[in-house]
């Protein structure tokens, strides 16, 4: 199986590359290394084909899709705060870039494209837990870009007969997630702060809930979405989540125990664009894809702690 992973040098993308190689796939990676890291691919560099390029360039997307059977499109510019500060760049990368990938995949005869969407598309919808049938109500430019790109993905299935699937990720965490960016996610920021003897920052009261999904479970969902055959899969969106919501305060307490550092948090006002609750229903993915998350929050944090402790001991290499 010849496959392309866009954003394959990123946190989730590099774990997906590992899993695809383990399944015997011939893997091509497209990444511009704006947020991805070469170190994430160091262990597989001799086993993959790497194209360094930007999804905002249509010709690059066409070259990347040439000869591919399946595409996992993970390349994106993440972070709600970054999109609030610079909505135009988020738009061009996440919407225009996705349209380029869809056009390139369609014209190359790619059999199936899996798109990495986001739980942020639910936004201000008051219904919890989140179900795929809910009306999306994005409240940030990032969420809007993910919803728009997701709709493009599903429309291509309807109009052009492409096999497309959208996955709405819920707060994925695990080894290789970068704490170095000013827009880093909460899990790596908590690890970085505690291992450095600093007080972590929590925006809001910490009682906001999230589905903290371990990266190996997210990869499982991706593999299934790209390979499972049957009705009710193509042209659909699926929640990919742990199915076990936890508050940010509980997350911090779990990480504190994992690294043996009881440093209290500093609480600051909530950030613009952040949602209060992000609990998920995963029955659709379970029933149609066979998705079955295996990791509890504690088990995923324990595996992550091993990586972050080693990373910190090595001097926090880039």
Catalytic residues: 142
**Distance from the Cα of residue 243 to its chain's centroid:** 16
Reading the block at residue 258, the tokens are 């994992």
As a whole number of angstroms, the distance between CA 106 and CA 155 comes to 12
Helix axes 11-22, 215-227, angle to 10 degrees: 60
């Amino acid at each position: 199986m010849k496959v392309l992973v866009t954003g394959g040098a990123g946190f989730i993308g590099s774990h997906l590359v590992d899993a695809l190689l383990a399944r015997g796939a011939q893997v091509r990676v497209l990444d511009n290394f704006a947020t991805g890291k070469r170190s994430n691919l160091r262990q597989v560099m001799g086993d993959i084909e790497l194209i360094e390029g930007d999804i905002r360039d249509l010709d690059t997307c066409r070259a990347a899709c040439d000869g591919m059977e399946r595409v996992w499109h993970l390349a994106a510019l993440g972070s709600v705060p970054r999109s609030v500060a610079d909505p135009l760049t988020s738009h061009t990368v996440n919407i225009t870039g996705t349209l380029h990938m869809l056009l390139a995949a369609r014209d190359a005869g790619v059999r199936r494209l899996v798109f990495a969407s986001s739980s942020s598309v639910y936004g201000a919808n008051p219904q919890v837990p989140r179900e795929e049938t809910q009306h999306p109500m994005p409240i940030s430019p990032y969420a809007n870009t993910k919803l728009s790109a997701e709709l493009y993905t599903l429309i291509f299935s309807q109009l052009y007969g492409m096999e497309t699937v959208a996955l709405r990720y819920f707060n994925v965490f695990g080894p290789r997630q970068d704490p170095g960016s000013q827009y880093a996610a909460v899990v790596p920021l908590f690890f970085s702060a505690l291992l450095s003897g600093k007080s972590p920052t929590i925006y809001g009261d910490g009682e906001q809930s999230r589905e903290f999904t371990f990266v190996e479970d997210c990869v499982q969902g991706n593999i299934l979405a790209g390979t499972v055959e049957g009705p009710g899969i193509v042209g659909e969106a699926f929640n990919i989540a742990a199915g076990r919501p936890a508050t940010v305060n509980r997350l911090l307490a779990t990480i504190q125990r994992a690294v043996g550092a009881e440093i209290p948090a500093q609480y600051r006002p909530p950030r613009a664009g952040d949602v209060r609750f992000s609990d998920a229903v995963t029955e659709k993915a379970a029933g149609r894809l066979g998705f079955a998350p295996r990791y509890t929050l504690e088990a995923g944090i324990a595996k992550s702690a091993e990586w972050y402790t080693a990373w910190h001991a090595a001097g926090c290499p880039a």
